[in-house]
Structure 1
């Protein structure tokens, strides 16, 4: 990928990016991994007869045990543990559903063998959300921090995966800049 570009004018503005087959495979693989984590968390929701009657689904009250999932689904507040548990139970199912919808949109618009992705501005916003989730998940798995060097020693087991993290950062940053160009020209 050489970066996202804005094309067109007015109502025909699009954001376009080209992915080679390897890039598409890596991105699709990461999307599937995040999807599996979110679906696993959704399966932890309690069965509730009232939810079946009202259609209001409740989620777990406890923070996810897996640190990557916990990073994707942070507490809604840190001030009161009971309030945090209640808010999580009420809102986590919708948050997971929204993240899964974005994830599926990315899978649907990213050609499996690589190729061109053309996004309307609203779809670019979804891609930004999905890329952020992937970067959060990978960054948590790699213990990425602000003081971490750009290149890790070759014997560090994370070194191989840091290139993927940095590439995702580039893809996201490039999309942010292309998306901002669309907003400026409206």
Structure 2
């Protein structure tokens, strides 16, 4: 991947770069798999009589059992033990919030991922993004990094380099590549040098 370049046009800024064929194929495969996770989660949500009457979609009330989906769709509320006004039953609050808002969150994440898919050159090559599409790329790439982070067990202190003979070393390299891709795109959106 080449660094991103910001170009001012009559229709607003555009962000240009290029991908090698193997990079484009990798992004497509990863994003397609992630969209599949979102689709599976959404299609497995229980039916709701109120949804049928009002048209207001509802989702699962329970957090995902799958660690990857759990990381992509975290709880909405985390209790703060030092807060005297903390809610007594955070599980109940999270269940209600998840049921109400998870479909919207999934739609937003799926939408960002689809925009990335729609703008990745089929066989690699040059690409040009609008500011909105560049932000969708950042969202989708971040979700990919979270997905790989679960697999690689990356904690708050960040990733640790894996030995070359470790079977997960290739996944770590992909994680690092996605990190650089995201960082360069964020920097160019902010108008900073890469």
**Normalising by the residue count of structure 1, what TM-score does the alignment of the two structures yield?**
0.92
* C-alpha distance in structure 2 between counterparts of 1:148 and 1:18, whole Å: 27
Higher helix share: 1
Pair 1:21-2:31 in alignment: no
Q: CA deviation at 1:148?
A: 3.8
* C-alpha distance in structure 1 between counterparts of 2:162 and 2:106, whole Å: 33
Q: CA deviation at 1:161?
A: 1.3
- Which deviates more from structure 2 when the two are superposed, residues 2-11 or residues 19-28? 2-11
* C-alpha distance in structure 2 between counterparts of 1:35 and 1:152, whole Å: 28
- Runs of 5+ in structure 2 lacking a partner? 80-89
How many residues matched? Answer: 181
Equivalent position to 1:90, from 100, 124, 131: 100
Q: CA deviation at 1:8?
A: 2.1
* C-alpha distance in structure 2 between counterparts of 1:11 and 1:88, whole Å: 38
**Normalising by the residue count of structure 2, what TM-score does the alignment of the two structures yield?**
0.88
CA root-mean-square deviation: 1.5
* C-alpha distance in structure 1 between counterparts of 2:12 and 2:99, whole Å: 41
Task: After the TM superposition, list the runs of 4 or more consecutive aligned residues in structure 1 that deviate by more than 4 angstroms.
Answer: none
Equivalent position to 2:152, from 142, 146, 152: 142
Deviations 1:9-62 (Å, cap 9, x if unpaired)? 564321111001000000111101111111111012111232122111111111
- Runs of 5+ in structure 1 lacking a partner? none
Matches within 5 A, 1:154-173: 154-173=164-183
